Chains A and B, each alone.
Chain A
Amino acid sequence: MKGPIADIWVYLAATPLLGLTLTLVCYQIAYAIHSRLGMHPAANPVLLAVAMLVAILLVTDTPYPIYFDGAQFVHFLLGPATVALAIPLYAQIGRLKKLALPLLVALVAGSLAAALSAVALGALFGASHELLMSLAPKSVTTPIAMGVAEKLGGLPSLTAVLVIATGILGAIGARSIYRVLHIEDHAVRGFAIGLASHGIGTARAFQVSEQAGAFAALAMGLNGLFTAAALPVLLPWLEALFHS
């Protein structure tokens, strides 16, 4: 880019206004496409918005930190939104009490299956140690995953990206898995997608039903807790086992 337009872009990119507005505009275009396609999971709004933004930033040669100066205002809302998940969760209290034991068993099984299969598949296809340790916590919500990756010797900022990718994949694929496995119960559907695909899976689950969303939020929180406690102990031990 050259000329007056480029000058104006350089000026605007230096203020938070541009990053913030771009994020909102791209998301709304992505969401319009998603709605137009009947909320089809493959047209995931996060994926579409990220693809648009990456293309724009690459074409205009805008560095990510400059974009994030503006986008951080949207990013910040993740905190209060996480707290707000307690409200739909509370609405499910009756079913929650009844299902306490099944939920705990499914949590341990699903959490270990997701983390260990990621490391095993990555190792099988020759991933570096750094990548494997960044992969292990990718099913849980971003701040927990980044903390766990750091403890394991992975790259926290790479983990953040893998977390988002996992969320998008789960939101896209879950419906087909449930169809093949004949899973009908919205509590089960929500819990599984929230466990494997954290907030993005939870966002998708809320589109399906309030109950699915609430159980997804619960699974996200529980898996965050469990992963943070279990992986830093379990993974080094498994590695030692394989190398001996």
Chain B
Amino acid sequence: MLKALTLLLLFQLAGEVLSRLLDLPVPGPVVGMALMFLLLLARGGPDSDLRETSNTLLSHLSLLFVPAGTGVLLHIQRVAEEWLALSVALVGSTLIGIAVTALVLNAMIRRGRRDEAGS
């Protein structure tokens, strides 16, 4: 647990340093995720300690968004002023984003299977 947590923090730190050093548009933790993925590729997978710790952390992923979500308090006035445009844009674009991604991916996978079967 402690070892795995330290490893995760070390990779986040490495990601943070790399992101700043190379002036990447992506924040440190995402770079850290990519680095961790490379480590797993090299090692042939996580050990049980790392697997269990990441499972624990990810099983409560929703909790970690609560503090930032409560930040809506800071913007109550603007939300009240522009609520219509906001709700339409948020609801519409989220549904469109999910639908377009799912339909395109589904169609591409089917085409791939057909090509495989045909060749």
Contacts and interface: CB of A to CB of B under 8 A. Distances in A.
Interface string A195-226: 11101101110100000010001010100110
B118 interface: no
Contacts of A203: 58, 61-62, 65
Contacts of B109: 99, 102, 185, 188
A109 B97 CA distance: 9
Contacts of B64: 74-75, 77-78, 81, 199
Contacts, number: 328
Looking at chain A, what size class is its interface with the partner chain? 35 or more
Interface in A102-129: 102-103, 105-107, 109-111, 113-115, 117-119, 121-122, 124-128
Contact of B98 (A121, A168, A196, A206): A196
B1 interface: no
A72 interface: yes
19 contacts: A47-B69, A54-B73, A57-B73, A79-B9, A81-B64, A84-B36, A84-B57, A85-B58, A114-B94, A121-B85, A138-B93, A143-B27, A143-B30, A161-B75, A169-B91, A196-B97, A197-B98, A199-B65, A203-B61
Interface of A: 23-24, 26-27, 31, 44-47, 49-50, 53-54, 57-58, 64, 67-68, 71-72, 74-75, 77-90, 93, 99, 101-103, 105-107, 109-111, 113-115, 117-119, 121-122, 124-128, 131, 135, 138-139, 141-144, 147-148, 157-158, 160-170, 173-174, 177-178, 181, 183, 185, 188-189, 191-193, 195-197, 199-200, 202-204, 206, 213, 217, 219, 221, 224-225, 228-229, 232
